[in-house]
Structure 1
Amino acid sequence: MKTYGKKTWIIAEGYIPSYGNGPEPEFTSHETACILNTSSSKAEIEITLFFTDKDPVGPYKVIVDAQRTKHLRFNDLRNPEPVPLDTDYACVIESNVPIVVQHTRLDSRQAENALLTTIAYFE
């Protein structure tokens, strides 16, 4: 199979609300990076978060096996520290092999949930 994607992706808009409406975990407000690795090698990924009023945090290290996909909830990132809730952030995603990244947010603060999705910027 052909390898698709780029090695550097940027999501300039991130925000995880601290509360939600509806059953957990399906309706937990969250940010997700949907990562596709079509290459024949595992993707070793590093994510760095950037904030308005503090130094960057990272790298968060993630593996996506060869010819696999991973839907990574930023809410689940713990090391080097949990992603703060109710805080604006952006991120840079770097991989050793080309990958494709799509950004999705579920905001369930109201009973009428909102789902946002967009392709990330690539370099």
Structure 2
Amino acid sequence: MEKAMIRMRMSMHDAHYGGNLVDGAKMLQLFGDVATELLIRNDGDEGLFAGYDKVEFKAPVFAGDYIEAVGEIVSVGNSSRKMVFEARKVIIPRPDINESACDVLDEPVVVCRAEGTCVVPKDKQRRK
């Protein structure tokens, strides 16, 4: 099945709560971008996100963290595409050392997992 991945740094603009905590909805936004790429690769069309079946927030995300969001199509129906997603923290800032220090984590920290369904109408599917 198709897989896709994006990696991006959370900025101060992403911080929504005290302590530079990033809103969990940002992970869902990343999953939406991954889903769009998966649909384009699979069907040649951006399709539509129909909904999430399950979302689990596992660890906090802060401004300065690098997040890797991955997704995979696990089931294909006539027009529906079942997907699974995982977001992992892979790099963290180290302000305790200095304002520009960062560490690559030896083991990524899973911050969010989700399952969802997207739809590509039959008349827009260009690949089989």
Scaled by the length of structure 2, the TM-score of the pair is: 0.30
**Higher helix fraction: Structure 1 or Structure 2?**
2
Scaled by the length of structure 1, the TM-score of the pair is: 0.31
